């Protein structure tokens, strides 16, 4: 089983993946690490201080690190680009843009990168990409003011089939449009 956890940088993907992996005994795959090893990095965005991964090559690269019968979690803002053929669940974590701005500023991200990511969150980018890539089981979770274990419990419910995956309820646009450039 492969579980994608996507969402704008800073929403809590790695934190949730770590806790989830302990609960369900799955391995966490570091997509950035794999991208470097497999040389699918297109370049380095200096102003954003991050590597640019070639999305079209992610699936092939990741297949090398997957064994049949084992469970994997891929927490990355590009995990929605993995082929839906090999992905079982695609979780999209959301976070209040105002809170996200504070969290990213605390990380000492450059101003431009903070605002780019806030914009990405307001525009539902990761969710839209997940839908465009035709993932079958997409589940969106607004993590704002929610405890890590509470979020992980919801994810486990979806995986176990005790809750139906759904998306489309989170909408920041009305309230936070003024934060866009």
Ligand X SMILES: Nc1ncnc2c1ncn2[C@@H]1O[C@H](COP(=O)(O)OP(=O)(O)OP(=O)(O)O)[C@@H](O)[C@H]1O
Contact residues: ligand X, CB under 6 A: 7, 9-15, 75, 77, 103, 143, 146, 148, 151
Question: What angle (nearest 5°) sits at the alpha carbon of residue 79, between those of residues 142 and 120?
Answer: 50
- Report in angstroms how near the CB of residue 69 gets to Mg ion at its nearest: 26
First-to-last alpha carbon distance for the chain, in angstroms, is 40
- For residues 62 and 52, is the Cβ–Cβ distance under 8 A? no
Question: What angle (nearest 5°) sits at the alpha carbon of residue 83, between those of residues 77 and 85?
Answer: 135
Is the Cβ of residue 103 or residue 135 nearer to ligand X in the bound state? 103
- Report in angstroms how near the CB of residue 103 gets to ligand X at its nearest: 6
Is the Cβ of residue 18 or residue 163 nearer to ligand X in the bound state? 18
Is the Cβ of residue 7 or residue 97 nearer to ligand X in the bound state? 7
Touching Mg ion, residues 6-35 (CB under 5 A): 13-14
What is the number of the residue whose Cβ is closest to ligand X? 12
Is the Cβ of residue 141 or residue 174 nearer to ligand X in the bound state? 141
Q: How many CB atoms lie within 10 A of CB 149?
A: 11
What is the number of the residue whose Cβ is closest to Mg ion? 14
| Partner that binds at residue 97, options ligand X, Mg ion, none, CB closer than 5 to 8 Å by kind | none
**CA atoms of 132 and 179, how far apart (whole Å):** 25
**CA atoms of 101 and 118, how far apart (whole Å):** 6
Taking each helix axis from N to C terminus, what angle separates 125-132 and 111-122, rounded to the nearest 10 degrees? Answer: 50
Is the Cβ of residue 13 or residue 103 nearer to Mg ion in the bound state? 13
Total residues interacting with Mg ion, rule: CB under 5 A: 2
Contact residues for Mg ion (CB under 5 A)? 13-14
């Amino acid at each position: 089983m492969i579980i994608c956890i996507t969402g704008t940088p800073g929403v809590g993907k790695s934190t949730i993946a770590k806790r989830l992996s302990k609960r369900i005994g799955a391995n966490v795959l570091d997509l950035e690490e794999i991208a470097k090893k497999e040389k699918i990095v297109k370049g380095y965005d200096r102003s954003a201080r991050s590597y640019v991964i070639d999305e079209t090559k992610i699936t092939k690269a990741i297949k090398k690190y997957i064994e049949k019968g084992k469970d994997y979690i891929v927490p990355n803002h590009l995990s929605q680009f993995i082929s839906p053929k090999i992905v079982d669940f695609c979780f999209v974590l959301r976070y209040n843009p105002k809170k996200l701005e504070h969290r990213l500023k605390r990380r000492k991200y450059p101003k431009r990168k903070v605002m780019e990511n806030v914009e990405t969150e307001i525009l539902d980018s990761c969710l839209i990409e997940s839908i465009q890539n035709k993932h079958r089981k997409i589940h969106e979770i607004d993590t704002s003011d929610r405890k890590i274990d509470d979020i992980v419990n919801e994810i486990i419910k979806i995986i176990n089939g005790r809750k139906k995956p759904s998306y489309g309820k989170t909408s920041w646009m009305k309230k936070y449009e003024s934060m866009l450039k």
